[in-house]
């Protein structure tokens, strides 16, 4: 009887030892599912391509070792809350959010699922994190905090076009970054002697109307704020600027690549590529509360000489010398 009891105890002890190991093995075998929430219309944008490139560089294989569950708002920010709630109901392991509005929608939908911001203006001011060094909740990621660059863009535009005295500033009504960016532009405008014409759109369909207003008001050039809606419709904005013969300065290089005159700002694709490292760290056990929010370190000035030629402009050597890239 004693031998049988000892044997039973040994079996129970072995079972208790093996059970956690089996559970751990099962957990390790699970393919993580990452929710993607974006105001964009599709996944084949340079930003999400950069994110997937970042995952591949870390050894992940989409569809095999990691699953990406996309939800697109197609430029309709009012859809983001419902799409965020849908991802939460799917019980994804993490959600990567594109922009401040999307991040806010996800944060309102869950306090437990880790959230990675791929690109947000000032996450502290927007109440998304407690601080950049110690986010303190379930949100972390990357910021594009570069408010001072808004004024720098206008200064570069003035240096490129010394004769310009009236510049339109374009943004979307839902832009959370406007309170940060507009004062910087206004301050620079006073210094360099430029009169600003602030113009707001509430829907992409408003673009034709505001460009017609620019023409009526005698606008000589255009600068856009960092804005997800304008970025998603950058081809239309660039097309209208060319149609109305307006030299335009943008925050994102993709706008210059699409045919805009020039762009200056942080590399947003680089942010999305770096977002993959946050996904990797969290999947390996790190908590968002303890992962500091990163700020941009790479800035680009891109000049499109083809656009300049179409506008009949000559770019000063001083601007070309500062350019990170010149599109011929």
CATH number belonging to domain 148-267+300-327? 3.40.50.2300
Return the pLDDT at 29: 67
Q: 45: which 2 tokens?
A: 């944008």
Positions of CATH 3.40.50.2300 in the chain? 27-145+268-297, 148-267+300-327
Which residue stretches of the chain are H helix?
A: 2-29, 46-57, 80-89, 100-109, 148-160, 178-192, 207-216, 228-232, 234-243, 253-257, 268-283, 305-311, 317-322
Answer yes or no: is pLDDT of 28 > 60.
Answer: no
Distances (CA, A) of 166 to 162, 180, 197, 223: 11, 21, 7, 11
Which helix (H) or strand (E) segment holds residue 176: the answer is none
Return the pLDDT at 232: 79
Structure letter (DSSP) for residue 289: G
CATH superfamily label, 27-145+268-297: Response regulator (3.40.50.2300)
Residue 204 CB neighbour total at 10 angstroms: 16
Q: 186: which 2 tokens?
A: 């206004």
Q: Is pLDDT larger for residue 6 or for residue 158?
A: 158
The average pLDDT across 191-210 equals 93
Answer yes or no: is pLDDT of 61 > 80.
Answer: yes
Q: What is the pLDDT of residues 220-246, one digit of tens each?
A: 999 998 877 887 789 999 999 999 999
Q: Is pLDDT larger for residue 28 or for residue 199?
A: 199
Answer yes or no: is pLDDT of 1 > 70.
Answer: no
Q: 222: which 2 tokens?
A: 């255009």
Phi, psi (deg, nearest 5) at residue 50: -65, -40
Most distant CA pair in the chain, distance: 102
């Amino acid at each position: 009887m004693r031998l049988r009891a000892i044997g039973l105890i040994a079996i129970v002890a072995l079972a208790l030892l093996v059970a956690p190991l089996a559970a751990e093995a099962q957990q390790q075998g699970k393919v993580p599912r990452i929710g993607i929430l974006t105001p964009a219309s599709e996944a084949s944008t340079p930003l999400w391509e950069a994110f997937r490139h970042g995952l591949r560089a870390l050894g992940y294989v989409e569809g095999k070792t990691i699953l990406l569950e996309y939800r697109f708002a197609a430029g309709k920010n009012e859809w983001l809350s419902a799409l965020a709630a849908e991802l939460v109901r799917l019980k994804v392991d993490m959600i990567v959010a594109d922009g401040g509005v999307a991040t806010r929608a996800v944060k309102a939908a869950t306090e437990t699922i880790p959230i990675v911001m791929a690109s947000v203006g000032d996450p502290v001011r927007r109440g998304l994190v407690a601080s950049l060094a110690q986010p303190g909740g379930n949100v972390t990621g990357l910021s594009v905090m570069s408010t001072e660059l808004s004024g720098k863009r206008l200064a570069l535009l003035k240096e490129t076009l010394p004769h310009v005295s009236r510049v339109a500033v374009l943004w979307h009504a839902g832009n959370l970054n406007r309170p940060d960016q507009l004062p910087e532009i206004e301050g620079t405008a006073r210094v360099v002697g430029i009169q600003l014409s602030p113009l707001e759109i509430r829907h992409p369909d408003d673009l034709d109307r505001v460009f017609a207003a620019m023409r009526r008001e005698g606008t000589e050039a255009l600068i856009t704020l960092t804005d997800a809606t304008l970025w998603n419709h950058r081809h239309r904005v660039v097309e209208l600027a060319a149609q109305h013969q307006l030299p335009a300065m943008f925050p994102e290089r993709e706008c210059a690549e699409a045919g805009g005159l020039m762009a200056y700002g942080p590399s947003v694709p680089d942010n999305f590529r770096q977002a993959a490292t946050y996904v990797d760290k969290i999947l390996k056990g790190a908590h968002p509360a303890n992962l500091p929010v990163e700020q941009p370190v790479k800035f680009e000035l891109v000049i499109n000489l083809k656009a300049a030629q179409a506008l009949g402009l000559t770019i000063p050597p001083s601007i070309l010398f500062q350019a990170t890239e010149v599109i011929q």
